[in-house]
């Protein structure tokens, strides 16, 4: 299975990023703390590889704190990078961004004359807009009011000493790693119509059972978890009334229910990947 989704506006976004990065001091890269590697666009990383960066593991309040700690250690090994776990709901976590930006630019001759300029990058649905609104508050600038920047670049004052330039969220043309595609689908970062909802759920359930069995038992009031993912879906459907005429289980509805509760954090603080893990996808797909 191969899904292409690189419309014209994404091509334009890539061109804007490439042109405007020369005019900023650092990159702020936003990743989903629950799937940091899967939500990292390799094209954006390639375009901006030479820039110092702050890596923000966003939605930290929904992620497993044990996994987030491992990911922070993982990303802090990158040269010229500072990694922080943040949430738009946690103002204290956001207050660390400006000092980190200044730290990356320490010693620059312009530091006493102007704020640090940062380009903020992230794939769609990674929480970029919510994070920017929380950082900027009422200090939002107009479109294209800085010489040399394209008209589509939005500028925001994000605390004293930091200006951020927003860019359109951009996915990559196709997933060569099915694991990443299914992780993003499980969290709703790509449209549910891209993949069959049952396939997404059946991919995700074994990992949830392995890492978060106690959270699942508590949420769904099970003493033991069904051993097979299909049985898991059917039992969940029975418990939650996902029944069609004739008494059959509406498996699609049960899968939507599970994924919605995962995305909303109702099952618990869950991360779907950790550094060094390998997961296989059933089937013969090579790309998504």
pLDDT score for 14:
67
Tokens for 41, please give them. 């666009």
Cβ atoms < 10 Å from Cβ of 167: 21
Count helices and strands in the chain by DSSP H and E runs: 11, 7
Share of the chain above pLDDT 90, in %: 58
Please write the tens of the pLDDT for every residue from 116-175.
999 999 888 888 888 988 988 865 544 444 444 445 568 888 878 999 998 776 665 566
Label residue 7 by pLDDT band (50, 70, 90).
very low
Please write the tens of the pLDDT for every residue from 28-83.
999 999 999 999 988 887 888 789 999 999 999 999 999 999 999 999 999 999 99
Tell me the mean pLDDT in the region 207-228: 96
Tokens for 232, please give them. 């898991």
pLDDT score for 219:
97
Q: Which of 196, 274, 259, 282 is nearest to 38 (CA)?
A: 274
Q: Which of 13-22, 59-68, 182-191 shows the lowest mean pLDDT across its residues?
A: 13-22
pLDDT score for 43:
80
Q: What is the mean pLDDT of the chain?
A: 85
Label residue 212 by pLDDT band (50, 70, 90).
very high
Task: Compute CA distances 26 → 219, 259, 267, whole Å.
Answer: 42, 35, 36
Task: Compute CA distances 3 → 35, 107, 126, whole Å.
Answer: 20, 46, 20
Label residue 27 by pLDDT band (50, 70, 90).
very high
Query: What structural domains and CATH numbers belong to the chain?
Result: 8-166 (3.40.50.300), 178-263 (1.10.1580.10)
pLDDT score for 271:
98
CB half-sphere exposure, 52, CA atoms < 13 A: 15
Tell me the mean pLDDT in the region 259-277: 95
pLDDT score for 278:
67
How far is 232 from 205, CA to CA, in rounded Å?
8
pLDDT score for 265:
96
Tell me the mean pLDDT in the region 198-211: 96
């Amino acid at each position: 299975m191969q899904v292409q989704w690189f419309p014209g506006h994404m091509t334009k976004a890539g061109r804007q990023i490439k042109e405007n990065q020369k005019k900023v001091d650092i990159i702020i890269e936003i990743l989903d703390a629950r799937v940091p590697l899967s939500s990292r666009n390799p094209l954006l990383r390639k375009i901006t590889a030479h820039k110092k960066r702050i890596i923000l593991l966003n939605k930290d309040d929904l992620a497993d704190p044990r996994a987030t700690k491992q990911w922070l250690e993982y990303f802090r090994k990158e040269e010229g990078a500072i990694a922080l776990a943040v949430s738009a709901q946690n103002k204290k976590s956001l207050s660390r961004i400006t000092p980190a930006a200044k730290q990356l630019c320490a010693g620059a001759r312009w530091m006493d004359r102007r704020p640090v300029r940062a380009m903020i990058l992230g794939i769609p649905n990674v929480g970029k807009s919510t994070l920017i609104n929380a950082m900027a508050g009422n200090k939002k600038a107009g479109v294209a009011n800085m010489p040399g920047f394209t008209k589509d670049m939005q500028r925001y004052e994000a605390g004293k000493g930091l200006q951020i330039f927003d860019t359109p969220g951009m996915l990559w043309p196709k997933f060569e790693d099915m694991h990443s595609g299914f992780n993003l689908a499980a969290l709703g970062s790509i449209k549910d119509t891209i993949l069959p909802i049952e396939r997404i759920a059946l991919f995700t359930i074994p990992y949830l059972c392995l890492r978060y069995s106690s959270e699942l038992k508590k949420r769904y009031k099970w003493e033991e978890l069904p051993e097979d993912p299909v049985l898991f879906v059917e039992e969940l459907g029975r418990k939650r009334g996902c029944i069609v005429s004739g008494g059959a289980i509406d498996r699609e509805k049960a899968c939507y229910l599970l994924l919605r509760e995962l995305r909303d954090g109702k099952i618990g603080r869950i991360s779907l990947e950790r550094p060094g893990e390998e997961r296989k996808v059933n089937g013969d797909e090579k790309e998504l």
